[in-house]
Amino acid sequence: MKLSIAIPDSSLLDESNLMGKTLKISEIARTCSVFCVDTIYIYHEAAGSIRDRNLLRNTLRYLETPQYLRRSLYGRTEELQFAGSLNPLKIPSHVQTPDPQKIKAGDIREGVVLYARGQKFIDVGFDKPLPYYGDEHEGKKIIVKFKEGYPNLSIKQIKKDEINHYWSYEVKEIANLYTFLKSWGSQIIVTSRKGKVIHKTQKLFDEISNSNVLVVFGSPKRGVHEILGNNLNNVPKSQILNFFPDQGTETVRLEEALFGTLSILNVLTRK
């Protein structure tokens, strides 16, 4: 199963300060990494703010970026002042040696395109950058595969979908949730306390185990039912499911809903 999630730009409403918001984003990033989420879509919601949307997007991308590239891509900003102290994701794109002598043919790394002395290079976390002969512009983060190991270290650029194991998540923004859901073209799960209880839908989980699945979450103040209204009935290939029947709290926080929902999906879609 290829798994993506959609969360609102109002996801941080229930946190009052930058540290609290940053810690919540860290929990979201860790959960998405644990359960191999391919793409995190951030959709616009009426209560969302540009400031929170930017913080959510930029911090998620910062945490996904290998540590050796963060300084060149992000520098020092007030927005990310607490991000450097967060728990590392330790996803496959992060677990990298800084020693070029340990590189073997077939190894994969992320790098940033540089321009110096009239030619392009790529910084892949070594003391010296490697020559780059591709078309990407300066500052672009790309993935490369080593055709030869040390000492030649020749590379070729590849796409993430050419990697045969989980690599990392991507972060994308969408302006209108309803329009996006109508165009998804595959299975959609809308999480809601108003949905069907999951133990009655095992057949669905068997059917989607090899699908491209999008899981949609609501905001701290409004569920997806309230956000979409009657449009929710017109979303194709969608199921509205309750992953927390008989919950003991008035609400389930987004970070709790994410971990609980993806944990259940991870078990029920295994073959």
pLDDT digits (tens, 9 = 90+) for 94-112: 988 899 999 999 999 999 9
- Please give the pLDDT value at position 85: 86
- Please give the pLDDT value at position 38: 97
Range of lowest pLDDT (17-26, 60-69, 157-166, 199-208): 199-208
| Domain 2-89+176-268 CATH superfamily | SPOUT methyltransferase, trefoil knot domain (3.40.1280.10)
The rounded mean pLDDT for the chain is: 94
Which CATH topology does 100-162 take?
OB fold (Dihydrolipoamide Acetyltransferase, E2P) (2.40.50)
- Mean pLDDT, rounded, for 233-247: 93
Domains 2-89+176-268 and 100-162 share a fold: no
Q: For the chain, give every domain's residue range.
A: 2-89+176-268, 100-162
- Please give the pLDDT value at position 271: 63
- Please give the pLDDT value at position 207: 85
Give the confidence band of 157 by pLDDT, cuts at 50, 70, 90. very high
Name which of 111, 199, 105, 213 is nearest 150 in CA terms. Answer: 105
- Please give the pLDDT value at position 205: 85
Q: 5 or 202: which carries more pLDDT confidence?
A: 5
pTM score, whole prediction: 0.95
